[in-house]
Structure 1
């Protein structure tokens, strides 16, 4: 199998050591600042430098996550932190914030940057867009199939990284605002509260629950059984998710994938991966297309464990798999650690399959299916996979000159460098017994606290003589320490001086006093036209007869020359991208479009030369430099929905931004559909019955809050905020800050509701509502 990078997570030093010792080619980890796993242990600056040096001594690359969105007051601190990382020899930064990317290109132009999966790169045009902007590697969205990976990696020649094992976000990464909007904990800033792991009801228009489960909680994915096909796609790096997982998880995943990549396939790989962590099993994700309910962990959102029997009504355990003292077990939500077992009246530490046993100690389990969540024997075996920092050895070939009357000289070549050390004393004539060649070889082939070992020794000159063995040991130690020091030092570098890179030119705002009305349904269009709206934004992708379509837009372009018509092009377009681009271009056969609104980098690359492009709010522009990254490709952009009043005031060039004054924010954009996977009957091999064409559904959480589920013509779903954001009573205040362009979004509103919203928007009047939210205008995000 072709050599390919295996990239492991490291949420702690112990996990990092396990990754290196079990064969990772590279690791990714976060410091204490600006990492998308804010709740991981993470590394202090001293710990980071030690970790980087340790990895480089093994030739393992180190990628640091600087992949959160940054506020204006944080940006320069992040740049300074990147300078520190550059100096200590970090190999690459994983980044999301385009303002940070721009600043790094200004100050550290040769620092390798990888586009985080938070940048939602999911089509070839998007991958090319960011590589043309100086990004070395693209971490592709997890939703892509092998076929799509192959197109981007092989056909287009883009360096790519893909997730091959671990937890799956149910929304496209970078397109989720659910944790942020509902609880103020932003996934874009590493603080996701994981609302997808909570239970929901799927309710219909009659308030009847049609499904109840952990409807948004996916299984973890794995490609352990499909590595040959995956490697054949041409991707450059296979990434394991898990910076929040225990070190033994890292050991198990890296060991299994390393062995499988090296041709040592075994059924135990999948078995062990299930044992260390799974949610109702492991899925293929989207590697081979949509699989509906087979993707999901509907019944239990945490580590399920593996089934090992049942607990009977009297508390006895009927085992179908072995159970040991120290194992962790559960029934439903109740779990415990086995303190001991009683088998046929005898206290035992181990019970084999087929046994009927009872538990010792005070812990009891209810009747039901029994799962093992912690395998004590496996965990101990994984911990032993590194008894020390340097168990795994890199073999070297050395040459020795050993001749009485001369110093003994040991030399070797490694990675293009020649190393040589000599003893401080001469080899003596043997007065009694000479030092045997075998004893010399034994001393020089010892392994110490060092990643290298001399496993082949050539005696270029060997004549009988004598040296104390401790002198040979010192000779070996000094030589190998020099190799390590060279490997570490070669990665460190001084900060560049005198850099004056050319910055992207900025396009003037296309419409500084824009009053944009975003419309979803035909009834909303009637309401907008009846009440004088002249600047209209359409999203022709929602599924259902009530929604505005491409043909409706074309008819409007042909008949209403006094309107400025904008089209919002979907944030997610995969194989359908070029077909959609053709449909957008064909609209101008009926009349000119005022512009395109999108977050999709592929759309920006394809259309920016021919259309005015406005960035949408999930472009996640959180600081004043972020929009500059796009240069002349964007004329304007929506501000981030995660900025508060104070942060909005701090933005510069406010005339280039549009604010959202009203609308249900799109909380998730997902390849998965909770309607299709439940009442739609979709699973692997069974298509959806398209019930969303005739019925409407909402998700209902534990607190009774509901969230409309909308679907599109590509069978993707959108989870919308149940309560609209309403800042219409602050429109004058926001305009006084310097923002001159504003927008409202109509999604589920009726004709009557749309009428009230449009009237209030166009007259700058407040809109009293019984239920609404202020977005982040007052509070902001962590």
Structure 2
């Protein structure tokens, strides 16, 4: 069987030890800086070095998460921090920010980099693009099927990593702005407030609520039953999500996946994983290319527990499964811990399935289904999966020479390196010589160290005498030599090679781009005499533009004096090559001025044929971000998460475009809340395409409504409830050095588009009934 890495989360030192002792090949953890789990415990520098040394003593790799977007004033500190991590022996960095990637490839070229799932690599062309930029491993988007994973891993030969267990983001990672725009807590910077775990109403076009539930809250995923498909997929590393989870969770997931990898299959594995943590069960996510309401936890967004019976109206419990003192229970949203069990007049610590009992100290519980949310017995077993730092031992084979008149000599070969230690002279035995068994007993001991001599060969043995303490010392020193080498060999000297960034050729364009998605908006743009149009032919519905509309406009663009840009979807999986072919076909109808996208696959496929303009989810947040893409990217929208001062501090503003009007796309998802709630969509049943017959929005607890749009690939877009309106700041942005601007239309009518374009064209303020200012004034954490 081929080698496959099991990669475990370590949100604390206790979790890290659980991972190592239960069989992880690698761990990933965050330091106190620039980690996408800012609210995890994380590690100080001293703790981090101790953790790295501990892992390396077990030959376990350590990957550090530096996977947040960085502002200009943070980048230097991040590179310095990376230099420190390089020196202490960290094996790889998990990264997202393109500016940081560029700096690290330039200044720490030997440091292994892994593209975080936050980089939204979801097709083969995108995976190749970033490996060609110096990324060693691609953490693929969670939305890919086993078939797609195999194409990238085997057919293209890319080293890949996939999430096999844990929480699932409902939006493509790196494509979510919901927490950022609504609350100022950026998911791209590790501070997601998880608005997807809140309840929503699905509203139709008449303002009627058609469904009310936790419509955006998915179940956790698991591939515990899919090991054969995983092995066939060619993936290199299996990643368990959960740096915010308890150590017992880490112990369970690592232990069970390790057993599955090694061929020990058990129905108990999934059963126990459900007991440790689940949201209305576990799903196989997108691994089999399916989506729908089956993968969602519509009714409860936290740990659901497993059903174990019912609470009757009189407060008694009818049990379908065993119950013990210390177990955690839930009835509805009410949670409690079992302090004792009453069976008639008897008080006991446990009850069996089939019994009807009461709980001590709980005279009245609400009637309803009873769930166990904490299994005391299972958690106790998991806690005891190690009793110390060095319970797990790495077995060694040693050779010993032992004869009077010579020094005893102990030799071990470990990973092709020879270690040897000698004792003082072996004496002739005056009374009782040391037997082979006594010598073996002394040399096969092990203390607070990962290694133990399991097999001992005597290359020479003659009866003699040596104090046992000398044998112990010889063994101890040899094993310590192995640990010292394994730890110190991973540490590095040298460090940064500071270099000036190359000159980026200046752009002379002063663009006034108008993003258009409907036929009415196109008419408004033409009636307003706007000349630089960005057409998006991927939304679903008759009112939206399609490729034929684009082709027709290209035929007449010269007569109309237009410059046509094509916005290509940020998510293209199997459709990528078909869309690329369609884009190339459009050239026979007329000249395309450029392509707007943040899809790295599109960038690689088309950058030699078209000018590529990065969309705002290219996530360019600092002045070095453009350098990673070089001339592949002609220009780019700037990140939507910067405030005025941060925008002012950016360099290369001649290559950057700012959005001054538009509903930002908050989420881009394979899952559709409309199809799942009303379209009959399940794992096996296709959607009834209800989105083609009505308009829909999600309404939150505050009454804010977020339009839901769908595209021709049956993906959904959650749009901002209020459009961003910075039309009155155009002159201010020009004073900061920006020369190119964009407005973006999604849901706007013909009349609304006319009014907005008039203001845009004349650089005037426009007062709207409801709008937001984006992050222009406030910025993000």
TM-score by length of 1: 0.99
| Cα distance between partner residues in 1 of 2:506 and 2:695 | 42
Match 2:530 to one of 520, 528, 533: 533
| Cα distance between partner residues in 2 of 1:441 and 1:579 | 68
CA contact (8 A) 1:516 1:537 kept: yes
| Cα distance between partner residues in 2 of 1:657 and 1:68 | 21
State the partner residue of 1:517.
514
CA contact (8 A) 1:126 1:600 kept: yes
| Cα distance between partner residues in 2 of 1:293 and 1:779 | 37
Change (3 A) 1:399 1:46: same
CA contact (8 A) 1:168 1:221 kept: yes
After the TM superposition, which residues 305-704 of structure 1 pair with which residues of structure 2 at under 5 Å, given as runs? 305-362=305-362, 364-423=364-423, 425-496=424-495, 506-509=504-507, 512-561=509-558, 562-704=561-703
SS in 2 for 1:687: coil
State the partner residue of 1:13.
13
Change (3 A) 1:551 1:223: same
State the partner residue of 1:124.
124
Change (3 A) 1:681 1:581: same
State the partner residue of 2:234.
234
Deviation of the 1:145 alpha carbon: 0.2
SS in 2 for 1:675: helix
| Cα distance between partner residues in 2 of 1:498 and 1:680 | 56
| Cα distance between partner residues in 2 of 1:334 and 1:703 | 24
CA contact (8 A) 2:314 2:364 kept: no
CA contact (8 A) 1:330 1:365 kept: no
| CA deviations over 1:53-95 (Å, ceiling 9, x no partner) | 0000000000000000000000000000000000000000000
Change (3 A) 1:644 1:265: same
| Cα distance between partner residues in 1 of 2:159 and 2:288 | 21
CA contact (8 A) 1:405 1:426 kept: yes
RMSD of Structure 2 on Structure 1 (CA): 1.1
CA contact (8 A) 1:217 1:297 kept: yes
Deviation of the 1:153 alpha carbon: 0.3
Deviation of the 1:436 alpha carbon: 1.2
Change (3 A) 1:2 1:589: same
| CA deviations over 1:164-207 (Å, ceiling 9, x no partner) | 00000000000000000000000000000000000000000111
SS in 1 for 2:126: helix
SS in 1 for 2:252: helix
Change (3 A) 1:672 1:505: farther
SS in 1 for 2:675: coil
| Cα distance between partner residues in 2 of 1:280 and 1:560 | 54
| CA deviations over 1:671-710 (Å, ceiling 9, x no partner) | 0000010100100111100001111100000111000000
Structure 1 stretch 139-148 or stretch 489-498: which is displaced more? Answer: 489-498
| CA deviations over 1:325-351 (Å, ceiling 9, x no partner) | 000000111001100000132101000
CA contact (8 A) 1:507 1:631 kept: no
| Cα distance between partner residues in 1 of 2:342 and 2:555 | 83
State the partner residue of 2:706.
707
CA contact (8 A) 1:504 1:632 kept: no
Change (3 A) 1:632 1:385: same
| Cα distance between partner residues in 1 of 2:142 and 2:210 | 29
CA contact (8 A) 1:699 1:707 kept: yes
CA contact (8 A) 1:64 1:92 kept: yes
State the partner residue of 1:198.
198
Say if 2:20 is the partner of 1:23. Answer: no
Say if 2:189 is the partner of 1:189. Answer: yes
CA contact (8 A) 2:11 2:29 kept: yes
SS in 1 for 2:171: coil
SS in 2 for 1:668: strand
Deviation of the 1:284 alpha carbon: 0.7
State the partner residue of 2:717.
718
Change (3 A) 1:577 1:745: same
Change (3 A) 1:363 1:33: farther
SS in 1 for 2:182: helix
| Cα distance between partner residues in 1 of 2:156 and 2:295 | 29
SS in 2 for 1:537: strand
Deviation of the 1:497 alpha carbon: 6.7
SS in 2 for 1:206: coil
Deviation of the 1:499 alpha carbon: 7.0
CA contact (8 A) 2:162 2:238 kept: yes
CA contact (8 A) 1:125 1:603 kept: yes
SS in 1 for 2:677: coil
State the partner residue of 2:155.
155
| Cα distance between partner residues in 1 of 2:364 and 2:685 | 41
SS in 1 for 2:221: strand
| Cα distance between partner residues in 2 of 1:497 and 1:255 | 39
| Cα distance between partner residues in 1 of 2:13 and 2:548 | 58
| Cα distance between partner residues in 1 of 2:42 and 2:496 | 30
Change (3 A) 1:14 1:364: farther
Change (3 A) 1:210 1:390: same
SS in 2 for 1:125: helix
| CA deviations over 1:268-302 (Å, ceiling 9, x no partner) | 10011101000000001000012300110000000
Deviation of the 1:106 alpha carbon: 1.3
Say if 2:753 is the partner of 1:727. Answer: no
Deviation of the 1:496 alpha carbon: 4.0
State the partner residue of 1:304.
304
CA contact (8 A) 1:542 1:713 kept: yes
Change (3 A) 1:19 1:200: same
| Cα distance between partner residues in 2 of 1:495 and 1:637 | 36
Structure 1 stretch 601-610 or stretch 405-414: which is displaced more? Answer: 405-414
TM-score by length of 2: 0.99
| CA deviations over 1:22-66 (Å, ceiling 9, x no partner) | 000000000000000000000000101000000000000000000
| CA deviations over 1:508-532 (Å, ceiling 9, x no partner) | 43x6210001011111111111111
Deviation of the 1:392 alpha carbon: 0.7
Deviation of the 1:505 alpha carbon: 6.5
SS in 1 for 2:233: coil
After the TM superposition, which residues 243-254 of structure 1 pair with which residues of structure 2 at under 5 Å, given as runs? 243-254=243-254
